[in-house]
Each structure stands twice: as structure tokens, then as C-alpha cells.
Amino acid sequence: MLQIKDLHANIDGTEILKGLSLHIKPGEIHAIMGPNGSGKSTLASVLAGNEDYEITGGSVAFGDKDLLELSTEDRAREGLFLAFQYPVEIPGVSNINFLRTAVNEIREYKGEEPMSAGDFLKLVKERSALVELDGKLANRSVNEGFSGGEKKRNEVFQMAMLEPKLAILDETDSGLDIDALKIVAQGVNAMRSPERSFVVITHYQRLLDYIVPDFVHVLYKGKIVKSGSKELALELEARGYDWIKEEVSA
């Protein structure tokens, strides 16, 4: 599904990713944890195609495609989805119009007919219910005036609408209260399937109680320095990151 090999990336001349490798198979959930500044969000941005970052080495294969050769929109059309840590407010663009355009551009890319208005609205109704997103929110401008929790639920709603092959959740849990966290997790779990993989980037183990990962990786100084099962997350929660840092420098 996704094969990252020895990936190096800079921003403004500073190297953030320093040889990151990761292999994700269909249906797997990988959690990426790590202290602040270790490169977690950079990884998400680089995979989504943010041009602020310069790739200086390594490769990323997404299915049979060279991901780094694709434009941001083509990555999305190939089935990559990034749930943003800070979703942008776009006044004047209705959530519905935006999603309909996205759905149909993706279908066009795949050589499919546009979705009919009726089918589209049915899907909106069904998928917005997954994250208990009030129907009225769907008609508002994209993220405009949404609360923090609504923005994150809207990200998961969009994911559910676009049905990606790989979804990267960038700190989707940050700033959420426990109820909102459960709703977000419930939306993600509803979308789990043997063909769909997830990368869950988070600081906190708490989210992983609700979205149970197959693998947990620790990202530190731009590299994956430790990988394990879901128990690793519990250990990190209990012991912090210092022991990892010591292991790395030892």
C-alpha cells in the first residue's frame, strides 16, 4: 500500500526527516507517536504534497505509483487522504459544493461518471451521521465558524465521503474532549476495511484506546527509532519518551 524508504525532507534548509522508512499493508492501522518536533506533522505534509517541503532523498511508493511524482490533487485522487491538524476555514465555499466537486473530480480521474445529485445527498446523509455532524453543518461554508471538535469531525466526514485507500490522521485527537474523541474514533472505525489503511499521528495514547492500532512507531529526530505493538503506546504513556531518547543516543 505505502512503502516509504529512507525519506529525507527539508524546510527552509533545515532537515526534518532524516531517513524515515515505513511499510504499510492494506487494512493495517499504524500509529506514529513521538515528542514534539520529531517530524510527525512534516511526514503528513510531505505525503500530502505540501510544496513548502523539499524532498532531498528516498522514495515513497503508493500502490504501483511513485507518490513523490504526483501532484497534491493526484495523490488524493489515487486514494490518499490527510485529515489536517489545523483545517482551514474557507468562507463562501459551501461544504457541500466543495465535497461534490471533490467527489466528482476524483471520479473523473478514475474515468467514472459524476455522481447523481440524489446519490450524493444520500451519501452525505449517511456519512455525516457517522460523525454525528448535524445536517446543517454540511450546508455551511467549509469549516467557517466551526468549533475545534466540529472541524475534526468534518475532516473525518470528508474522509468517509471520499473513501480513500490510505487515510493519515494528523493529531485528529488534539483539543478534543472525550465525547468528541469517541465520535471521531467511531467514524474512523466505521470506515475500517481490509483494503483501507490508516496512519494515526498522535501525542497521546488515549486515542489508541478507541482506534486500536496494529503497529505503533516512535518517530524521533526524523526517523522511526522504535516499532512495536499497541502495548508500546501504553509503555510510552507510562514512561514518557526519555528512555527512548537514551536508547537512541546510546
* Rounded least distance, CB 224 to another protein, Å: 24
By CB under 8 A, tell whether 49 contacts another protein.
yes
Question: Using CA atoms, how far apart are residues 31 and 233, in angstroms rounded to an integer?
Answer: 9
Nearer to another protein, 105 or 235 (CB): 105
Which of 7, 46, 48, 137: binder of another protein (CB under 8 A)?
48
Q: Total residues at the site for another protein (CB under 8 A)?
A: 30
3-state secondary structure of 217: strand
Torsion angle defined by CA atoms of residues 19, 22, 164 and 52, in that order, rounded to the nearest 10 degrees: -10
Q: Of 2-10, 32-40, 47-55, 114-122, which part binds another protein (CB under 8 A)? A: 47-55
Which stretch, 22-30, 69-77, 196-204, 219-227, contacts another protein (CB under 8 A)? 69-77
**Contacting another protein (CB under 8 A), which of 13, 92, 118, 194?**
92
214 contributes a contact to another protein by CB under 8 A: no
* Cβ-based nearer residue to another protein, 84 or 220: 84
Helices marked H in the chain: 40-48, 72-77, 95-109, 117-130, 135-138, 148-162, 178-190, 206-210, 230-239, 242-249
Residue 127 has which C-alpha cell? 456519512
State the binding string over 140-179 for another protein (x if CB under 8 A, else -): -xx---------------x---x-----------------
Nearest partner of 221 among 34, 85, 91, judged by Cα: 34
Contacts of 157 (CB under 8 A, 6+ apart): 127, 128, 130, 131, 133, 138, 187
Residues in touch with another protein (CB under 8 A): 48-50, 71-73, 75-77, 81-82, 84, 87-88, 90-93, 97-99, 101-102, 105-106, 109, 141-142, 158, 162
